[in-house]
Structure 1
Amino acid sequence: MSLPPILWMQAFEAAARTLSFTQAGRELGVTQSAVSQRIRLLEDRLGQALFVRHPRSLSLTPAGQAWLPSIQEAFTRIAEGTAEVFGPHPDAPVTLRATPAVQAGWLATELTHFHRRHCDVTVRLVSAVWPGDFSAEGVDMEIRYGQGDWPDMEAVLLNEEVMLPVCAPGVARQLHKPEDLAGHTLLHAAGFALGWPSWLSLAGVEGLEARCASFICDTQVATLALAARGAGVALTHRRLFEGRDDLVAPFALSMPTDEAFWLVRPRARAPRPACDALWAWLRDVGELD
């Protein structure tokens, strides 16, 4: 069976969702009788009734109930696909997604500088802990942590990354060499390929974590907040530590990592000028670091 005309399916979806031909007509900008006629034509094409017409109301038949989710899913996918390829309205805000730790660190500084130069561009900043679907929130670009191997994505490396211990100045005064970490609390951020055992091994004190207390958080923003309050020593990325005046690095040793921060956007989407402006700004900032 060939697909019915999309206008008929739009009429069905609106009427099935509102259970009102009148309300469906208002949504679609047509009369109640036009909606009713399209539904009749659709039912004739399908060979089954989709609605039960009561004196003052509507209800869906079993066939209508079974078909509605498929129609709604199809319209949602069409809308998402359109946004993926063509993006939102040209005047819509540029939506940038990043983790809370990135937002609270260098990104806040760079967005401030960007806004001063491009005050005509509205930026919408949304939070993400893990990489997500670009269609879910209308996201234009994202700062992700990883190896840059995401399919169908354009990814720009925001400089090579290293990890280093950081803590409050008062705690740092007690730490002169890596062995001094014994007896202190090590703040761990879950979800990263490299952590304290790797840094301690590089520092020549492998296994020292067994002589330390531990505090495990699910984000680096939490470990940095605890470290700033003297609760322990956090192992963090250089980029998240830069620009903070409440944390210091007690040791010069930093640990390279094959994961880093990347500026990411879908390859298939045609970017708007405002998106290109923010993309170029963040890309150039990364290359200068």
Structure 2
Amino acid sequence: MKKRLPPLNWLRSFEASARHQNFTSAANELNLTQAAISQQVKNLESQLGAVLFKRLPRGIELTDAGLAYMPAVHESINRLSSITDELFGNSQNRPLIIRASLVFFTTWLAPRVNRFYQEFPDINIRFTSNIWREDKDKKNEYDLDIRYGQGNWPDIKAEQLTWDELFPVCSPNLLMGLSSPLSIDILKEHTLLHVLGYEEGWGYWLNTVNSDKKSKHSGIQFDTLISALEMAKLGQGFALGRTSLVKSMLENGSLVAPFEESIKTSEAFYLTYPNHQYLTPNAEKFRQWILNESKI
């Protein structure tokens, strides 16, 4: 038989006491007396049939049972507080914060986002770049994060947005005077535009297609793919294009894919958020919208 759910006030007193390791500090936070906090914790322990704290001469310490119970209570209170504020508090007007790489936003998301606003005109969005390394203390300052990788991040829910092939692209001006079909051997005579941070770069591509190009790591390095693509459009070398990111550039002729060789990527862009994170109503609307867009 299931135990009856304890009153919320008892759980709040336990959670605050566990965080502060002190009944007095918990009482100050909750605007109660120290005696009231202590009594509510005792009531909770009595209902659960377990001791949650060791009472020490100076403060308190969680027992094994308390340590096991605390994460679930803490998360539940935070989620209840978040949804209450989202639906009934000031955060109704808080912008939805979406983090994405510059290249994904510029080439994939920006051309589509007007369709989201047409469907949800009252939702405010703030887009932020993930160009800088994540600060662990600020990792929850966005609602949804669009990442590139293999989709296997610890404790993260990842939903795939792109299915790509990888192939060289360049400016059509770079190929003037050359006759088709072109061989990838001409890469030996041109600059390769490398992007740091991608597992499937030039070395991987050349090895996969069995190219004998010797200087696989020569060329220019960039920390963003959008920079490499812009340099390729200017005729400064060959970049590696991913289907979803260069589609419009191939269609408008600013880039061409001169070779038949291409390989499927094992990496992709994913919409991500922590496994146990509650998605606000606006975040859920954006999630459903972008997943539908990924199928177009």
Q: Return the offset for 1:116.
A: 2.1
Question: Pairwise CA RMSD of aligned residues?
Answer: 3.2
Aligned to 1:86: 82
Any conservation in 2 of the 1:168–1:247 contact (CA below 8 Å)?
yes
Gaps of 5+ in 1: 12-45, 47-77
Aligned to 1:150: 153
Aligned to 1:123: 125
Task: State whether structure 2 residue 248 is matched by structure 1 residue 228.
Answer: no
Amino acid at match of 1:248: V
Aligned to 2:193: 187
Amino acid at match of 1:125: F
Other structure's SS at 1:156 match: strand
CA distance in 2, matches of 1:9, 1:120: 35
Aligned to 2:12: none
Deviation readout 1:54-97 (Å, 9 max, x if unpaired): xxxxxxxxxxxxxxxxxxxxxxxx99x94798366233211110
Other structure's SS at 2:93 match: coil
Other structure's SS at 1:258 match: coil
CA distance in 2, matches of 1:109, 1:145: 19
Any conservation in 1 of the 2:162–2:244 contact (CA below 8 Å)?
no
Residue identity over aligned pairs, in percent, reads 28
Match of 1:139 among 136, 139, 142: 142
Aligned to 1:96: 98
Task: State whether structure 2 residue 173 is matched by structure 1 residue 170.
Answer: yes
Aligned to 1:159: 162
Other structure's SS at 2:192 match: strand
Task: State whether structure 2 residue 58 is matched by structure 1 residue 5.
Answer: no
CA distance in 1, matches of 2:152, 2:238: 31
Deviation readout 1:225-271 (Å, 9 max, x if unpaired): 11111111101322221222322212232222221111111232222
Aligned to 1:271: 279
Other structure's SS at 2:151 match: coil
Distance 1:227 1:134, change over 3 A: farther
Q: Return the offset for 1:135.
A: 4.6
CA distance in 2, matches of 1:215, 1:277: 40
Aligned to 2:110: 108
CA distance in 1, matches of 2:107, 2:222: 18
Q: Return the offset for 1:209.
A: 4.4
Match of 1:256 among 236, 260, 264: 264
Gaps of 5+ in 2: 1-20, 32-57, 59-73
CA distance in 2, matches of 1:278, 1:186: 37
CA distance in 2, matches of 1:137, 1:190: 25
Other structure's SS at 2:248 match: coil
Any conservation in 2 of the 1:155–1:262 contact (CA below 8 Å)?
yes
Deviation readout 1:117-170 (Å, 9 max, x if unpaired): 221111110000367459546211111111111222221111322211111121
The normalised TM-score by structure 1 is 0.67
Distance 1:227 1:116, change over 3 A: same
The normalised TM-score by structure 2 is 0.66
Match of 2:203 among 173, 177, 197: 197
Other structure's SS at 1:277 match: helix
Distance 1:251 1:100, change over 3 A: same
Amino acid at match of 1:226: M
Any conservation in 2 of the 1:96–1:125 contact (CA below 8 Å)?
yes
Aligned to 2:34: none
